[in-house]
Amino acid sequence: MKKLIRFAIAGGIGFLVDAGVLSALLSLTPLGPFVARLIAIALAMASTWVFNRNFTFDRSGRSLAAEGFRYGSVGITAALVNYGLYSALLLSLPGLQPLAAMVVASIAAMVFSFFGYSRFVFRA
């Protein structure tokens, strides 16, 4: 249960980074919601790796490169789920705000991420 709570905290940090970067890019740059989200997801993924590695799951015992590769593999797959659902929502519901689509997509990706990180990345 402790890992799940810490994972939720890491997810909250990642969500704040994702939402903050997305909002900033949409309001401060000419980037559209699709390109801005790609950048936001990448920065959120980097921030959650640091937190998950140090507080949620502990280090796996693998080299930093091996652990980073595994984390990236799960993270990229989760990001594809996240981005795919985000894009599908925006394209099918044109009036939907990008941040609302981000919330729904992030929740779906979070479930996938927890199992991938706990079983594939940080398991000793």
Question: What is the block-wise mean pLDDT of the chain (124 residues), using blocks of 10 residues?
Answer: 86 92 96 93 89 80 82 89 93 93 88 85 74
Angle at 64 between CA 62 and CA 69, to 5 degrees: 90
CB 76 within 8 A of CB 38: no
* Structure-derived torsion over alpha carbons of residues 40, 102, 71, 29, reported in degrees to the nearest 10: -10
Place of tokens 């970067």: 21
pTM flag (> 0.75): no
